[in-house]
Structure 1
């Protein structure tokens, strides 16, 4: 096993261990962090004209946003949950645009939106 493969395996095991021990609040943070990482990677792939990789990474980011959306409690979350649901739906739509049109602007827009949501989430005490 080469060094990069070993590092990747370590990171996977470390992330899984963190997820098992994490509070629900921390799990949401981890999802948002993962989404931002995938979006940054997708931007790099787009800049390098790696079309297949770009599509794969944007798809993973869409899946993460879908996970955030599924975690919303629309019955008890009131207006905040409803607004987040709409925002996540919008983010997904913009990521599809970014992928289909191979444009960085919608990708950057979603990064900004997700960073804002994450900043608010991070400010909430566990």
Structure 2
């Protein structure tokens, strides 16, 4: 096997191993931990988008932003319980909607500042979520 093919095989193996690790973590996580994982994934995708934007890699920037939007819309937003969450769920839904609009703007206009704002908002909410989790588990 050539060094190129060996490296490619190793990369696929490492990727598959990482995917299994994430899936295992998700399967054993509490609902609170799952939300933390969603925040982490969205923020990682935004950081990836920023790197691709700065490198001029438009296609990969778009993929990373799409992934972040998917996590916000189909993960964080979908996890809200309007009945039990009341006004807090309503406000979070509005914030998530705003984050998605920032991400759309960042993608459409190659706007790093919109990415920064989206990441900062998600970071603020994630920090509060982590703090709540720490209190609930007695940390």
Range into which the TM-score falls when normalised by the shorter chain: over 0.9
Q: What is the TM-score normalised by the length of structure 2?
A: 0.87
Q: Deviations over 1:4-47 (max 9, x none)?
A: 22221111000000011111000000000000110000000001
- Tell whether 2:78 aligns with 1:70: yes
- Alignment match, 1:91: 99
Question: 1:49 and 2:56 equivalent?
Answer: yes
1:16-35 to 2 correspondences below 5 Å: 16-35=23-42
Paired residue total: 126
TM-score by length of 1: 0.96
RMSD: 1.0
Q: Are residues 1:2 and 2:9 paired?
A: yes
Q: Secondary structure of the residue that 2:81 maps to in structure 1? A: coil
Q: Give a deviation string over 1:59-113, Cα, whole Å, max 9, x none.
A: 0000000120011011110111110000000000010000000110000000000
Gaps of 5+ in 1: none
Shift of 1:3: 2.6
Counterpart residue number, 2:120: 112
The higher-RCO structure (CA 8 Å, 6+ apart) is: 1
Distance 2:68 2:119 in 1: 10
SS of equivalent residue, structure 1 residue 32: helix
